[in-house]
């Protein structure tokens, strides 16, 4: 099946999307089932993602990157998710969270040291969440104590995407818990640093090939030069990075929904009952027409948020809306597609079952749906308050 026409794209953007989708169909699709069963990404795929430039989309050319935009990144994320949301989020976290944070807050020395690695061989992870720090992101307990020209980190992190494959971790720790969130600081921690251990990998419902791990820090000594941004400004980095990350998750959910619908439509056009393809029955027509309408609306919301961000305009509310709505649409779409396909859709032999499992995480990670609603409400209050004075 060819790529769906995306009418809001330029010719170059459409060509890029089509190229990534073709790659995904040829190189990723044959591995999806095995990777899901094994619960890990095929290591042979990772070099190809670097060779295509997908692991450094916004990084400047001087560091080996494509020097493109968040919009280009979300096109890649969407196209990959159409085939395997696990590979999609692998690329997503690298670009929207890790590379983005280094680009925005890294020193020139940090950029020169790390960005060439991030475009050529290193995978990155973003480590904020803890057992007691989920939606209340700034309740983290990981400590960082200054000792000479080093910080000593102690604590643990949970739900760390790409943890099993990563060489670089952006770790949030508090240098002064008495200051609350104003003590939170970001650190660049390399795999292999003494005292730093990647812990157990979670056995998940969906996106199983995407590794989700815990991190353990026991007297982990990190040079003070590896502080990302200013000491005590980690909360700002966390908030602003996740705002961009939500656009990526929205794109992942749009791609997932499109992949499920692609398969279901193909099935309904070939599956005959009562002498004609089931796609011609009005009872199904009304349902898949509504699914397609919701999906297009979600796609346009995601694209709008990305365009705003690239234009340097406020996008926080739009990113939250896009993530919220796209995750809702993905879950509904994947569920409906199982019904469209019928009994075989409930089996692991057909891809819609996996899309359904993969969709659930969209309402949870990088900010739950309720947290998105809270963000939207806060932004609305600010907007209306400015109007009324």
Q: What is the reported pTM?
A: 0.96
Separation of alpha carbons 84 and 24, rounded Å? 8
Q: Say yes or no: do domains 125-232 and 236-388 share a fold.
A: no
Tokens 């999906």 locate to 295
58, 214, 366, 379: the catalytic one is 366
185 neighbors 172 (Cβ within 8 angstroms) = yes
pLDDT of residue 5 exceeding 50, the answer is no
234-276 pLDDT, tens digit each:
999 999 999 999 999 999 999 999 999 999 999 999 999 999 9
Percent of the chain with pLDDT over 70: 98
Helix boundaries (H) for 121-233: none
pLDDT of residue 2 exceeding 90, the answer is no
Q: For the structural domain made of 11-122, what CATH number should be given?
A: 1.10.540.10
The pLDDT of residue 389 is 76
The pLDDT of residue 6 is 59
Architecture of the domain spanning 125-232: Beta Barrel (2.40)
Average pLDDT of span 333-343: 97
167-208 pLDDT, tens digit each:
999 999 999 999 999 999 999 999 999 999 999 999 999 999
pLDDT of residue 9 exceeding 50, the answer is yes
Band the pLDDT of 134: cuts 50, 70, 90. confident
44-99 pLDDT, tens digit each:
999 999 999 999 999 999 999 999 999 999 999 999 999 999 999 999 999 999 99
> Dihedral of CA 293/296/301/302: which sign?
positive
For 248, list phi and psi in degrees, rounded to 5.
-65, -40
Separation of alpha carbons 214 and 163, rounded Å? 8
The token pair at 331 is: 């879950």
pLDDT of residue 221 exceeding 90, the answer is yes
Q: Return the SS3 of 300.
A: helix
The token pair at 311 is: 């234009």
167 neighbors 196 (Cβ within 8 angstroms) = no
The pLDDT of residue 186 is 98
Average pLDDT of span 376-386: 95
Separation of alpha carbons 95 and 39, rounded Å? 22
Separation of alpha carbons 74 and 13, rounded Å? 11
To the query of whether residue 61 is one of the catalytic residues in this protein, the response is no
* Domain ranges (residues) in the chain: 11-122, 125-232, 236-388
Written out in words, the top-level CATH class of the domain with range 236-388 is: mainly alpha
């Amino acid at each position: 099946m060819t790529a769906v026409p995306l009418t809001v794209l330029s010719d170059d953007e459409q060509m890029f999307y089509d190229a990534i989708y073709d790659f995904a169909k040829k190189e990723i699709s044959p591995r999806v089932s095995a990777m899901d069963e094994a619960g890990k990404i095929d290591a042979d795929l990772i070099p190809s993602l670097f060779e295509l430039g997908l692991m450094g989309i916004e990084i400047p050319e001087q560091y080996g990157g494509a020097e493109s935009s968040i919009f280009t990144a979300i096109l890649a994320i969407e196209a990959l998710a159409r085939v395997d949301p696990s590979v999609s989020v692998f690329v997503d976290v690298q670009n929207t969270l890790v590379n983005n944070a280094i680009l925005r807050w890294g020193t020139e020395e940090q950029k020169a040291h790390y960005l060439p690695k991030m475009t050529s061989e290193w995978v990155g992870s973003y480590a904020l969440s803890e057992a007691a720090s989920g939606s209340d992101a700034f309740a983290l307990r990981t400590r960082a104590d200054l000792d000479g020209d080093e910080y000593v980190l102690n604590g643990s992190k949970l739900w760390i995407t790409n943890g099993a494959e990563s060489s670089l971790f952006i770790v949030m720790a508090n240098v002064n818990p008495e200051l609350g969130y104003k003590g939170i600081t970001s650190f660049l921690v390399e795999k292999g640093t003494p005292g730093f251990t990647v812990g157990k990998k979670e056995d998940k419902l969906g996106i199983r090939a995407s590794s989700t791990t815990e991190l353990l820090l026991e007297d982990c000594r990190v040079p003070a030069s590896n502080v990302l941004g200013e000491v005590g400004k980690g909360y700002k980095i966390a908030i602003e990075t996740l705002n961009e990350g939500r656009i990526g998750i929205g794109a992942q959910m749009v791609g997932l929904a499109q992949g499920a619908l692609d398969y279901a439509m193909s099935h309904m056009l070939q599956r005959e009952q009562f002498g004609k393809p089931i796609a011609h029955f009005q009872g199904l027509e009304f349902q898949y027409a509504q699914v397609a309408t919701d999906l297009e609306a979600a796609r346009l919301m995601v694209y709008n948020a990305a365009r705003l961000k690239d234009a340097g305009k406020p996008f926080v509310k739009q990113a939250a809306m896009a993530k919220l709505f796209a995750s809702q649409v993905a879950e509904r779409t994947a569920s409906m597609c199982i019904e469209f396909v019928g009994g075989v859709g409930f089996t692991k032999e057909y891809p819609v079952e996996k899309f359904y499992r993969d969709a659930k995480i969209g309402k949870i990670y990088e900010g739950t749906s309720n947290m998105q609603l809270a963000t939207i409400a806060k932004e609305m209050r600010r907007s209306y308050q400015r109007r009324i004075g």
